[in-house]
Structure 1
Amino acid sequence: MNILANVPSSYGFVILIYLYSWVMLVYLAAQVIEARTKYKVKYPAMYSDKDQMFNCIQRAHQNTLEVYPQWLVFQTIAASLYPLTASVLGAVWVTSRFFYAWGYYTGEPEKRMNGAFGYIGYFGVILMSFYISLQLLRIF
């Protein structure tokens, strides 16, 4: 029996978004690894008390890791019934994390807001998850 026969073909986009998010995480981690060498920040220190630039690079990665688990949950719920819409919203969120990081990498933390458009994708999948829960409960 082909188990994929019951999965909509559009779910392939969902998987691609998860892979795209993995690429984003690897990229952000690589930037921190490179910055550790450049700014001489040894493990296990999370931040530098000497160099704000390293801290900006580290925060871009750390902030993404702080929100990533929640995004994964809501992305998965939203994609369970609406794979195409969830994929578009996921692509928006993941792409925004690059802009967020690149803004931080300027050394001017306020420029991280270049990635603020990601809230569309983030809150989009949260609202979709809420809508799905109401559908399951036969409330909506």
Structure 2
Amino acid sequence: MAIENLLPANFGYAIFTYMYSFVMLSYLALQVGGARKKYGIKYPTMYSDKEPIFNCFQRAHQNTLEVYPQWLVFQTIAALEYPLVASVLGVIWVTSRFSYAWGYYTGDPAKRMRGVYGYIGLFGVILLSISVALKLLGVL
């Protein structure tokens, strides 16, 4: 059976959203690696008592990794029924992680809140996933 018979017609948008998220994760990882080199933080040290700015780079990446698996699940479920809307919400979430990181990279952790708009994307795909579940259960 051909892939286009298994997935919704617009699921390609979701695939591009996943690829965008890969770019974002790679960027955050490279930023941590650069900060490690700049501030002399050797592996396997996760956080520094001497260079708190390094911790901002590390936390921006780590926090994203902490929520990423859940986002992937909800993004996928939502995109199976609502591919275009889920993709827009996914792009909002992924873009917000850049804003979150750039705010954190200033050294003022409060500026990470520049990425708070990402909750629109995250909660959006969670709500769409609930809708998919309810449809599958015959409630909607």
- Report the Cα distance in structure 2 between the residues aligned to 1:6 and 1:137, rounded to whole angstroms: 20
**TM-score, normalization by structure 1:** 0.97
- Report the Cα distance in structure 2 between the residues aligned to 1:24 and 1:113, rounded to whole angstroms: 17
* Aligned residue in 2 for 1:132: 132
1:11-53 per-residue CA deviation (whole Å, 9 max, x = no partner) reads 1110000000000000000000000000000000100010110
Shift in Å, 1:6: 4.3
The unaligned stretches of length 5 or more in structure 1 are none
- Report the Cα distance in structure 2 between the residues aligned to 1:123 and 1:136, rounded to whole angstroms: 20
**TM-score, normalization by structure 2:** 0.97
Q: What is the letter of the counterpart of residue 17 of structure 1?
A: T
3-state SS of paired residue (2:62): helix
- Report the Cα distance in structure 1 between the residues aligned to 2:73 and 2:2, rounded to whole angstroms: 26
Q: Quick check: 1:45 aligned with 2:45?
A: yes
Shift in Å, 1:132: 0.9
- Report the Cα distance in structure 2 between the residues aligned to 1:8 and 1:136, rounded to whole angstroms: 16
Question: Contact 2:41/2:48 (CA < 8 Å) preserved in 1?
Answer: yes
Q: CA RMSD in A?
A: 1.0
**Gap change, CA 1:9 and 1:137, over 3 Å in 2:** closer
Q: What is the letter of the counterpart of residue 38 of structure 1?
A: K
Q: What is the letter of the counterpart of residue 109 of structure 2?
A: P
Q: What is the letter of the counterpart of residue 69 of structure 1?
A: P
* Aligned residue in 1 for 2:11: 11
- Give the 5 Å matches for 1:46-65: 46-65=46-65
3-state SS of paired residue (2:42): coil
* Aligned residue in 2 for 1:92: 92
- Give the 5 Å matches for 1:28-39: 28-39=28-39
Identity of aligned residues (%): 66
The unaligned stretches of length 5 or more in structure 2 are none
- Report the Cα distance in structure 2 between the residues aligned to 1:88 and 1:2, rounded to whole angstroms: 26
* Aligned residue in 1 for 2:67: 67
- Report the Cα distance in structure 2 between the residues aligned to 1:6 and 1:126, rounded to whole angstroms: 22
Moved over 4 A (4+): none
- Report the Cα distance in structure 2 between the residues aligned to 1:130 and 1:7, rounded to whole angstroms: 19
